[in-house]
Structure 1
Amino acid sequence: MQTTDKWSCGITKIMDTFSGKWRLNLFWIIAQNEGIGFNQLRNQIPEITNMMLIRSLDTLLVEGFISKSLSGNKAPFHSEYYLTYKAKELLPLLLKLNEFGKYSD
Protein backbone atom coordinates (compact mmCIF):
# COMPACT_ATOMS: atom_id res chain seq x y z
CA MET A 1 0.00 0.00 0.00
CA GLN A 2 1.18 3.49 -0.73
CA THR A 3 -0.30 6.70 0.56
CA THR A 4 -0.83 9.28 -2.17
CA ASP A 5 -1.83 12.94 -2.18
CA LYS A 6 -4.97 12.11 -4.16
CA TRP A 7 -6.25 9.40 -1.81
CA SER A 8 -4.92 9.73 1.68
CA CYS A 9 -6.77 7.27 3.89
CA GLY A 10 -5.76 7.18 7.56
CA ILE A 11 -5.71 3.38 7.59
CA THR A 12 -3.42 3.38 4.56
CA LYS A 13 -0.99 5.69 6.36
CA ILE A 14 -0.83 3.37 9.36
CA MET A 15 -0.46 0.31 7.14
CA ASP A 16 2.37 1.98 5.22
CA THR A 17 4.20 2.76 8.45
CA PHE A 18 3.91 -0.75 9.84
CA SER A 19 4.20 -2.68 6.56
CA GLY A 20 7.95 -3.08 6.83
CA LYS A 21 9.09 -6.57 7.76
CA TRP A 22 10.31 -5.62 11.25
CA ARG A 23 8.45 -2.45 12.23
CA LEU A 24 5.43 -3.97 13.91
CA ASN A 25 7.65 -6.45 15.79
CA LEU A 26 9.82 -3.59 17.01
CA PHE A 27 6.72 -1.64 18.04
CA TRP A 28 5.48 -4.61 20.15
CA ILE A 29 8.89 -5.14 21.74
CA ILE A 30 9.22 -1.45 22.67
CA ALA A 31 5.64 -1.44 24.01
CA GLN A 32 6.53 -4.33 26.31
CA ASN A 33 9.98 -3.01 27.29
CA GLU A 34 9.89 0.79 27.39
CA GLY A 35 13.38 2.22 27.63
CA ILE A 36 14.88 -0.69 25.72
CA GLY A 37 18.28 -0.13 24.17
CA PHE A 38 19.45 -0.69 20.60
CA ASN A 39 21.45 -3.82 21.43
CA GLN A 40 18.59 -5.24 23.47
CA LEU A 41 16.29 -4.77 20.46
CA ARG A 42 18.91 -6.41 18.25
CA ASN A 43 19.05 -9.38 20.62
CA GLN A 44 15.25 -9.72 20.63
CA ILE A 45 15.23 -10.17 16.83
CA PRO A 46 18.40 -12.08 15.92
CA GLU A 47 17.45 -12.25 12.22
CA ILE A 48 17.43 -8.45 11.73
CA THR A 49 20.54 -6.74 10.39
CA ASN A 50 21.88 -3.58 12.03
CA MET A 51 20.99 -1.58 8.92
CA MET A 52 17.39 -2.84 8.89
CA LEU A 53 17.07 -2.17 12.61
CA ILE A 54 18.30 1.40 12.11
CA ARG A 55 15.98 1.99 9.12
CA SER A 56 12.97 0.50 10.87
CA LEU A 57 13.57 2.53 14.02
CA ASP A 58 14.09 5.67 11.92
CA THR A 59 10.72 5.15 10.21
CA LEU A 60 8.96 4.72 13.55
CA LEU A 61 10.76 7.82 14.86
CA VAL A 62 9.90 9.98 11.83
CA GLU A 63 6.26 8.86 11.92
CA GLY A 64 6.09 9.80 15.62
CA PHE A 65 5.39 6.35 17.08
CA ILE A 66 8.57 6.06 19.13
CA SER A 67 10.96 8.47 20.75
CA LYS A 68 14.67 8.05 21.34
CA SER A 69 16.59 9.11 24.40
CA LEU A 70 20.38 9.32 24.43
CA SER A 71 22.43 8.97 27.59
CA GLY A 72 26.10 8.99 28.41
CA ASN A 73 28.79 11.64 28.52
CA LYS A 74 30.69 10.64 25.40
CA ALA A 75 30.28 8.53 22.27
CA PRO A 76 29.14 5.90 21.88
CA PHE A 77 25.96 7.10 23.55
CA HIS A 78 23.37 4.70 24.91
CA SER A 79 20.03 4.86 23.04
CA GLU A 80 16.72 4.03 24.68
CA TYR A 81 13.41 3.77 22.84
CA TYR A 82 9.95 4.60 24.15
CA LEU A 83 6.43 4.71 22.76
CA THR A 84 5.08 8.20 22.18
CA TYR A 85 1.66 9.43 23.26
CA LYS A 86 0.51 8.86 19.67
CA ALA A 87 1.65 5.22 19.84
CA LYS A 88 0.02 4.67 23.21
CA GLU A 89 -3.27 5.84 21.71
CA LEU A 90 -2.84 3.41 18.82
CA LEU A 91 -1.81 0.46 20.99
CA PRO A 92 -5.34 -0.54 22.16
CA LEU A 93 -6.53 -0.54 18.54
CA LEU A 94 -3.64 -2.77 17.47
CA LEU A 95 -4.34 -5.09 20.39
CA LYS A 96 -7.96 -5.31 19.26
CA LEU A 97 -6.83 -6.09 15.69
CA ASN A 98 -4.48 -8.71 17.10
CA GLU A 99 -7.37 -10.40 18.90
CA PHE A 100 -9.56 -10.16 15.80
CA GLY A 101 -6.82 -11.73 13.68
CA LYS A 102 -6.35 -14.63 16.08
CA TYR A 103 -9.97 -15.64 16.13
CA SER A 104 -11.40 -14.67 12.74
CA ASP A 105 -12.03 -17.38 10.18
Structure 2
Amino acid sequence: METMGDVDQTCGMSLAIDVVGGKWKMHLMWVLAEGPVRFGQIRRKLDGVSEKVLAENLRQLEASGVVHRELYAEVPPRVEYSLTPLGESLSVALKPLEDWGEEHREVLSSRR
Protein backbone atom coordinates (compact mmCIF):
# COMPACT_ATOMS: atom_id res chain seq x y z
CA MET A 1 0.00 0.00 0.00
CA GLU A 2 1.31 3.42 -0.90
CA THR A 3 1.73 6.06 1.75
CA MET A 4 1.60 9.74 1.00
CA GLY A 5 5.41 9.73 0.99
CA ASP A 6 5.36 7.03 -1.70
CA VAL A 7 3.01 9.07 -3.87
CA ASP A 8 5.46 11.99 -3.79
CA GLN A 9 8.13 9.61 -5.14
CA THR A 10 5.94 8.34 -8.01
CA CYS A 11 6.39 9.84 -11.47
CA GLY A 12 3.48 11.56 -13.22
CA MET A 13 3.21 8.77 -15.79
CA SER A 14 2.64 6.22 -13.02
CA LEU A 15 -0.05 8.40 -11.47
CA ALA A 16 -1.83 8.77 -14.82
CA ILE A 17 -1.62 5.04 -15.53
CA ASP A 18 -3.09 4.36 -12.08
CA VAL A 19 -6.16 6.33 -13.17
CA VAL A 20 -6.65 4.97 -16.72
CA GLY A 21 -4.84 1.64 -16.60
CA GLY A 22 -6.72 -1.51 -17.51
CA LYS A 23 -8.65 -2.75 -20.49
CA TRP A 24 -11.70 -0.46 -20.33
CA LYS A 25 -10.89 2.84 -18.62
CA MET A 26 -9.44 4.66 -21.63
CA HIS A 27 -12.37 3.44 -23.70
CA LEU A 28 -14.71 4.78 -21.02
CA MET A 29 -12.92 8.14 -21.12
CA TRP A 30 -13.45 8.22 -24.90
CA VAL A 31 -17.21 7.55 -24.55
CA LEU A 32 -17.62 10.06 -21.72
CA ALA A 33 -15.75 12.76 -23.67
CA GLU A 34 -18.82 12.96 -25.94
CA GLY A 35 -20.93 14.29 -23.05
CA PRO A 36 -23.19 12.93 -20.29
CA VAL A 37 -24.28 9.37 -20.92
CA ARG A 38 -26.29 6.67 -19.16
CA PHE A 39 -24.97 3.26 -18.12
CA GLY A 40 -26.86 1.35 -20.82
CA GLN A 41 -25.60 3.69 -23.53
CA ILE A 42 -22.02 3.17 -22.39
CA ARG A 43 -22.51 -0.60 -22.39
CA ARG A 44 -23.84 -0.54 -25.96
CA LYS A 45 -20.88 1.54 -27.15
CA LEU A 46 -18.31 -0.72 -25.46
CA ASP A 47 -19.02 -4.08 -27.00
CA GLY A 48 -17.74 -6.92 -24.83
CA VAL A 49 -17.69 -5.26 -21.41
CA SER A 50 -19.80 -6.92 -18.73
CA GLU A 51 -22.11 -4.92 -16.47
CA LYS A 52 -20.01 -5.85 -13.45
CA VAL A 53 -16.73 -4.72 -15.01
CA LEU A 54 -18.29 -1.54 -16.38
CA ALA A 55 -19.77 -0.61 -12.99
CA GLU A 56 -16.46 -1.36 -11.26
CA ASN A 57 -14.47 0.77 -13.72
CA LEU A 58 -16.94 3.66 -13.45
CA ARG A 59 -16.67 3.53 -9.63
CA GLN A 60 -12.87 3.57 -9.85
CA LEU A 61 -12.87 6.54 -12.25
CA GLU A 62 -15.33 8.32 -9.97
CA ALA A 63 -13.08 7.64 -6.96
CA SER A 64 -10.15 9.08 -8.92
CA GLY A 65 -12.12 12.27 -9.46
CA VAL A 66 -12.30 12.09 -13.26
CA VAL A 67 -15.93 10.91 -13.56
CA HIS A 68 -19.07 12.44 -12.06
CA ARG A 69 -22.15 10.30 -11.35
CA GLU A 70 -25.41 12.24 -11.32
CA LEU A 71 -28.47 10.54 -9.82
CA TYR A 72 -31.77 12.18 -10.79
CA ALA A 73 -34.70 11.88 -8.39
CA GLU A 74 -37.11 10.47 -10.96
CA VAL A 75 -39.19 7.32 -11.25
CA PRO A 76 -37.57 5.21 -12.52
CA PRO A 77 -34.25 6.60 -11.26
CA ARG A 78 -31.96 7.99 -13.93
CA VAL A 79 -28.17 8.05 -13.59
CA GLU A 80 -25.82 9.87 -15.94
CA TYR A 81 -22.04 9.78 -16.05
CA SER A 82 -19.86 12.63 -17.27
CA LEU A 83 -16.29 13.83 -17.05
CA THR A 84 -15.30 16.23 -14.31
CA PRO A 85 -12.99 19.13 -15.16
CA LEU A 86 -10.12 16.86 -14.09
CA GLY A 87 -11.45 14.15 -16.41
CA GLU A 88 -11.78 16.62 -19.27
CA SER A 89 -8.13 17.61 -18.87
CA LEU A 90 -7.16 13.93 -18.84
CA SER A 91 -9.20 13.37 -21.98
CA VAL A 92 -7.27 16.16 -23.70
CA ALA A 93 -4.03 14.51 -22.58
CA LEU A 94 -5.16 11.14 -24.03
CA LYS A 95 -6.03 12.64 -27.45
CA PRO A 96 -2.42 12.51 -28.77
CA LEU A 97 -2.32 8.81 -27.87
CA GLU A 98 -5.49 8.24 -29.90
CA ASP A 99 -4.02 10.25 -32.79
CA TRP A 100 -0.83 8.17 -32.69
CA GLY A 101 -2.89 4.96 -32.86
CA GLU A 102 -4.87 6.25 -35.84
CA GLU A 103 -1.69 7.36 -37.62
CA HIS A 104 -0.11 3.93 -37.20
CA ARG A 105 -3.27 1.81 -37.45
CA GLU A 106 -2.15 -0.13 -40.53
CA VAL A 107 1.25 -1.08 -39.14
CA LEU A 108 -0.11 -1.94 -35.71
CA SER A 109 -3.02 -3.98 -37.08
CA SER A 110 -0.67 -6.06 -39.24
CA ARG A 111 1.31 -7.08 -36.14
CA ARG A 112 -1.66 -8.54 -34.29
Q: Where does the alignment leave 5 or more consecutive residues of structure 1 unmatched? A: none
Shift of 1:94: 1.1
Report the equivalent of 2:21: 19
Separation in 2, partners of 1:102, 1:50: 28
Q: Larger radius of gyration, structure 1 or 2?
A: 2
Separation in 2, partners of 1:92, 1:46: 24
Report the equivalent of 1:81: 81
User: RMSD of aligned C-alpha atoms?
Assistant: 2.2
Report the equivalent of 1:39: 40
Instruction: Point out the structure with the larger helix share.
Output: 2
Cα pair 2:29 2:91 within 8 Å, conserved: no
Aligned residues: 101
Q: Percent identity?
A: 28
Q: Where does the alignment leave 5 or more consecutive residues of structure 2 unmatched? A: 108-112
1:27-67 deviations in whole A, cap 9, x for unaligned? Answer: 100111x1200111111123111110111001110001110
Separation in 2, partners of 1:90, 1:45: 20
Report the equivalent of 2:110: none
In the superposition, the TM-score normalised over structure 1's length comes to 0.82
Separation in 1, partners of 2:43, 2:98: 24
